Amino acid sequence: MPDPRSSREDFLDLDEDTSAPTVEQIDDQVAHAQEKLLQLKRQAEQLEREKQKLEELGRRQDQFDTGRAEMVDKFTSSLVHIQRETDQTLKRLEILKNVQATFTSYLHEIEAINPKDWTPADLNKELSKALGTIEDARSVYVKAQAQVAADEEIAGPSPFDGDSLASGGQSFGYWLMAGFAFTLPLFALGLLGLLLWFLQLAST
């Protein structure tokens, strides 16, 4: 009578032999694993490229944020400075226009004085009137020079300071006072000569 345990062990051995993979199966598994590794490698390379793109995008974003903040700050501060300079320039222009109008008026008034039209009888009165006009002109001139000079200290250099041919590098206030200093002695000598001439006429 055969041994039941021997038959069962033979059956189990047969099952183990039939479940073992074949060479073809192993080759297929190896090829599948290699394909899987190749796909993973491609995915890793793709992820690396995406990472580099994101890093470059982040770098450019930081560059944009920094540049934008820098230029916003520069433009903001510059516009404040320009607005202040514009206000000062408009104020200075208004002062110069008023000075110009006043000087023109006094110049015409002084030039209109004609001693030849004075009679000996009216000499003293006309001369007093003319001297009063000169004193008024001198006072206006000095006040205008002081006003322009004070405005120069606030607003900065005169617009004529950069014109070396016209002003020799000096300010408008400097030439305003210089012109007054140059012309006043000549004008005073002229009035003195006229006065002596009319006194001579009056004595004859």
**pLDDT (tens digit per residue) in 13-44:** 544 555 677 888 887 888 888 889 999 999 99
- Residue 148's nearest CA partner among 98, 111, 114 is 98
When comparing pLDDT for 108 and 178, which is higher?
Answer: 108
d(CA 47, CA 52): 9
Mean pLDDT of the 154-180 span: 48
Annotated domain spans of the chain: 1-90, 113-204
**Which pLDDT value is given to residue 160?**
36
Looking at residue 24, the DSSP 8-state letter turns out to be H
Mean pLDDT of the 127-156 span: 83
Question: What 3-state DSSP class applies to 104?
Answer: helix
**Which pLDDT value is given to residue 26?**
84
Which tokens is 186 given?
Answer: 């000549």
d(CA 135, CA 122): 20
Tens digit of each residue's pLDDT (9 = 90 or more) over 173-200: 555 555 555 555 555 656 666 666 656 6
d(CA 123, CA 200): 12
- Residue 172 scores a pLDDT above 90: no
Tens digit of each residue's pLDDT (9 = 90 or more) over 69-85: 999 999 999 999 999 98
Total Cβ atoms within 10 A of residue 174: 19
**Which pLDDT value is given to residue 117?**
86
**Which pLDDT value is given to residue 170?**
53
**Which pLDDT value is given to residue 58?**
92
Grade residue 3 by pLDDT with cuts at 50, 70 and 90: low
Angle between helices 23-111 and 123-155 (to 10 degrees): 170
Mean pLDDT of the 40-56 span: 92
**Which pLDDT value is given to residue 24?**
83
